[in-house]
């Protein structure tokens, strides 16, 4: 049972990163006709709650399993923020070179400081680690904080001054700037949800009940999703709404995550030794490097292929990016061995 339980978080992360790849291709590669079609909107939906929110929830779950060393957690958070800045430079290298040589006249700052998910991950770790010192494992307080995080972005005042740098700083926390893809509010909500789930799972007396009623939980959450699917789909397929959603969608996303996690838990148990599940788990274990490499590929190709690819070609691009990224991650994970071979 222990080994099977360990499969699920990696499986969830593996599913999330592959869904991120396909939605990145839709956003950057797909012609406008596909982007606005039903298949295109469905691609955006799959790249919505089942991707970034799921990843952040799993990260929050793992945070709850760490000892909670404030210094270590803050260092880890800032490290991810630095990775995010380096990734912005790397994935936009082709675009930035065009701006530098003045073959493309646009402002480079939104691309250098665009708020991607690594910034959110770093800030979320820092925020949770700070509040953890104050509230420990008080589920009631963490629930209140989660609800506040989900709704705060709607009520916080925007900056209307003339200092541009303040706008860029604000974008990391809330606001509607187009380069603010994953601001802390509302996106830290999902890390907090995962953190709460981790606290609940760590209380062994509650775990048997959760496992016993897992099928019921799956059925109820599925029923609720079906009833409200039109709402969830419409927000997920509208990128400005999705990136800057409020508490209503966050609650819908929480129900969707409950369904997805409980449903995939059956897959983790029954098919943990299958080739597909093992690959997804391996992808999940190497999620950061997988995410970085896929963005380096898609981001730089996207400058040349921006909105030029048809519905027919997109699956081939997806397969190609996944294969190349897999090979790069394999090489990266074996870099110590490769260094020895080179010597």
CA dihedral 60, 65, 71, 76 (to 10 degrees): -50
CB-based contact 55:287 (threshold 8 Å): yes
> pLDDT (tens digit, 9 = 90+) per residue, 107-126?
999 999 999 999 999 999 99
Predicted local distance difference test score (pLDDT) of residue 28:
96
Query: CA 26: distance to chain centroid?
Result: 16
Whole-number pLDDT of residue 275: 95
pLDDT in tens, 261-280: 999 999 998 898 999 999 99
Q: Residue 146, SS3?
A: helix
Q: Give the residue with greater pLDDT, 58 vs 159.
A: 58
Q: Are 40 and 30 in contact (CB under 8 A)?
A: yes
Mean pLDDT of 45-62: 96
Residue with tokens 């187009």: 178
pTM confidence score: 0.92
H/E element, 245: none
Model confidence pLDDT, tens digit, residues 304-337 = 999 999 999 999 999 999 999 999 999 988 865 5
Q: Which two tokens stand for residue 204?
A: 């062994």
Q: Where are the alpha helices (DSSP H) in 203-273?
A: 207-212, 214-236, 239-243, 247-270
Q: What is the C-alpha separation between 245 and 189, in angstroms, rounded?
A: 11
Q: What is the pLDDT confidence band of residue 207, given thresholds at 50, 70 and 90?
A: low
Long-range CB contact pairs, 96-101, < 8 A, 24+ = 98/303
Q: Select the more confidently predicted residue: 342 or 248.
A: 248
pLDDT score of 125? 97
Separation CA 240–CA 46 (nearest Å):
16
Helix or strand or coil: residue 30? strand
CB neighbour list of residue 160: distance below 8 Å, 6 or more residues apart: none
Residue 265, burial from CB neighbour count under 10 angstroms (0-12, 13-18, 19+): buried
Assess contact for 11 and 262: CB atoms under 8 A: no
Residue count of the chain: 343
Mean pLDDT, residues 71-81: 96
**Percent with pLDDT over 90 in the chain:** 80
> Does pLDDT of 184 surpass 60?
yes
User: What is the residue range of 79's domain?
Assistant: 2-342
Please tell me the number of Cα atoms within 13 Å of 6 on its side-chain side. Answer: 7
Q: Is 48 exposed, middle or buried (0-12, 13-18, 19+ CB in 10 A)?
A: buried
> Tokens 């991707």 appear where?
51
Quote the pLDDT of residue 210. Answer: 61
Give the model confidence (pLDDT) of 7-41 as tens digits.
899 999 999 999 999 999 999 999 999 988 999 99
Residue by residue, DSSP assigns 295-340 as HHHHHHHHHHHTT-B-TTTHHHHHHHHHHHHHHHHHHHHTHHHHHH
Overall domain count for the chain = 1
**pLDDT value at position 209?**
57
230-258 confidence digits (pLDDT tens):
999 999 999 999 999 999 999 999 999 99
Residue 3, pLDDT score = 44
- The average confidence (pLDDT) of the chain is 92
d(CA 260, CA 19): 14
206 pLDDT higher than 70 = no
Distance (Å, rounded) from C-alpha 57 to C-alpha 78? 19
Per-residue pLDDT, averaged over 294-299, amounts to 98
Does the pLDDT at position 4 exceed 50? no
**284: buried, middle or exposed (CB in 10 Å: 19+, 13-18, 0-12)?**
buried
Mean pLDDT confidence for 295-302? 98
Count of beta carbons in the 10 Å neighbourhood of residue 210: 14
Q: What is the pLDDT of residue 269?
A: 86
Whole-number pLDDT of residue 285: 94
Could you tell me if 325 and 293 are in contact, meaning their C-beta atoms sit under 8 angstroms apart? yes
Q: What is the pLDDT of residues 152-163, one digit of tens each?
A: 988 888 777 677
């Amino acid at each position: 049972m222990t080994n099977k339980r360990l499969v699920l978080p990696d499986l969830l992360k593996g599913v999330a990163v592959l869904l991120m790849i396909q939605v990145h291709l839709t956003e950057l590669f797909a012609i406008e006709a596909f982007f606005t079609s039903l298949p295109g909107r469905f691609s955006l939906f799959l790249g919505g709650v089942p991707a970034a929110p799921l990843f952040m929830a799993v990260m929050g779950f793992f945070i709850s399993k760490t000892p909670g060393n404030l210094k270590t957690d803050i260092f880890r958070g800032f490290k991810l923020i630095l990775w995010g800045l380096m990734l912005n430079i790397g994935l936009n290298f082709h675009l930035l070179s065009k701006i530098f040589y003045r073959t493309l006249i646009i402002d480079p700052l939104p691309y250098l400081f665009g708020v991607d998910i690594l910034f959110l991950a770093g800030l979320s770790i820092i925020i949770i680690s700070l509040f953890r010192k104050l509230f420990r494992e008080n589920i009631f307080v963490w629930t209140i904080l989660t609800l506040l995080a989900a709704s705060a972005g709607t009520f916080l005042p925007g900056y209307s001054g003339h200092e541009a740098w303040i706008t860029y700083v604000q974008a990391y926390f809330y606001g509607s700037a187009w380069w603010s893809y994953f601001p802390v509010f509302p996106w830290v909500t999902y890390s907090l949800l995962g953190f709460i789930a981790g606290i609940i799972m760590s209380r062994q007396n509650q775990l048997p009940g959760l496992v016993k009623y897992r099928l019921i939980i799956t059925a109820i959450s599925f029923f609720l999703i079906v009833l409200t699917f039109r709402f969830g789909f419409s927000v997920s397929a509208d990128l400005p709404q999705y990136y800057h959603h409020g508490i209503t969608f966050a609650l819908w996303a929480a129900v969707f995550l409950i369904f997805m996690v409980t449903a995939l838990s059956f897959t983790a148990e029954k098919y943990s030794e299958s080739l597909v599940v093992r690959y997804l788990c391996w992808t999940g274990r190497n999620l950061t490097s997988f995410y970085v490499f896929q963005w380096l590929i898609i981001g730089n190709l996207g400058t040349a292929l921006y909105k030029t690819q048809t519905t027919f070609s997109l699956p081939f691009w997806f397969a190609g990016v996944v294969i190349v990224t897999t090979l790069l991650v394999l090489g990266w994970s074996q870099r110590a061995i490769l260094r020895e071979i080179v010597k």
